[in-house]
Amino acid sequence: MSLQFCIEACILFNIIIIGYTVIFLKNYFNLKNNSRKTPVSTMIVLGSGGHTTEMVRLVKNLPKNRYSPRNYVVADNDTMSKEKMKLIENNSTDSTLIEIPRSREVHQSFFTSIFTTLNAMLYCFKYNYIYQPELIICNGPGTCIPVCYSALILSWLMPWRRHGFGHIKIVYVESLARVTSLSLTGKLLLPTASLFIVQWPELYTKITGETLNSDPEGKELSETSKTPSQHQDQLKSRRIIFRDDLM
């Protein structure tokens, strides 16, 4: 390997780093200083059964003029979710149904689900590239994993987009059925979600180490139960909130 090649490689590497830094700073200050006047391109993940029922309750009252277009992602064999989406949108012109292979079937082993999830992610890369969601709303089905992670990966690989460098927003609502422990999907999305909502105080306490006071609102936090390690994790605590009025 010649010295000239090494020098050229170093120069190219530095140009790439400088370019990414410039784009990052540009996107950061644009997002921070620019007041929102245009609708938010939204992707909504519908699971199956109870997950879909909960999501319908969450999104049926979304202001459609503010969250548009709305792209619904469902597993290709989930007939129920497809019907629910049609009922929610009532033939609206700014909504789309996206079908992807199911990430994990009921009772499927975790090992084989790795491969089915990767297969679903290939489809998600395509649809995230086409629709460029700025906001993803999901609540626990395995379909969330390829949707959210493919969107995050694309945002880093394509920083010149408005929401590059991980600026895409993910709102995750843990299922009402999860009282004291997170679902597998919740565990995988906890590090990446912009907003992580739990619906039981026991689960909130387990994740954050904070105890909810018994005030009328039920949402003020007590700092007395925090451990030293949890004090060092303030950023995560700010992303996690407790709401008991969603369903």
Q: Same structural domain for residues 57 and 155?
A: yes
Same domain, 24 and 114: no
Q: Evaluate whether residue 236 is within a structural domain.
A: no
Judge whether 208 lies within some domain. no
Q: Picking from 47-61, 93-107, 217-231, which range would have the lowest pLDDT averaged per residue?
A: 217-231
CA distance 121 to 225: 40
Give the model's confidence band at 137: pLDDT under 50 very low, under 70 low, under 90 confident, else very high: very high
DSSP character string of 130-164: HH--SEEEE-S-TTHHHHHHHHHHHHHH-TTSTTT
Same domain? For 91 and 57 the reply is yes
The string of pLDDT tens digits covering residues 107-132 is: 788 888 889 999 999 999 999 999 99
- Asked whether residue 37 carries a pLDDT value surpassing 80, the answer given is no
- Does the residue 204 lie in any domain? no
CA distances from 3 to 8, 15, 132 (A): 9, 19, 42
Q: Is residue 223 situated within a structural domain?
A: no
Domain span at 23: 1-35
Domain check: are 46 and 95 in the same one?
yes
Other beta carbons within 10 angstroms of residue 106's beta carbon come to 7
Query: Which of 198, 217, 233 is the C-terminal boundary of a domain?
Result: 198
**Predicted local confidence at residue 48, as pLDDT:** 78
pLDDT at 156: 83
Q: What pLDDT, on the 0 to 100 scale, is given for residue 82? A: 92
Within a domain: residue 23? yes
Cα four-point dihedral sign 102, 89, 173, 192: positive
User: Does residue 221 or residue 242 have the better pLDDT?
Assistant: 242
Q: Which CATH number is 179's domain given?
A: 3.40.50.2000
Q: What is the pLDDT of residue 101?
A: 92
Angle between helices 79-89 and 50-59 in degrees, nearest 10: 10
Position 64 in a domain: yes
Q: In the structure, what pLDDT confidence band is assigned to residue 29 with cuts at 50, 70 and 90?
A: low
Q: Is residue 225 part of a domain?
A: no
pLDDT number for residue 146: 94
**Considering its fold, how many domains does the chain have in total?**
2
Q: Are residues 79 and 16 in the same domain?
A: no
Q: Give the predicted TM-score (pTM) of the model.
A: 0.79
Estimate to the nearest angstrom the gap between the alpha carbon of 246 and the chain centroid: 18
Which has more pLDDT, 147 or 167?
147
Same domain? For 162 and 135 the reply is yes
Task: Give the confidence band of 36 by pLDDT, cuts at 50, 70, 90.
Answer: low
Tell me: do 30 and 48 sit in the same domain. no
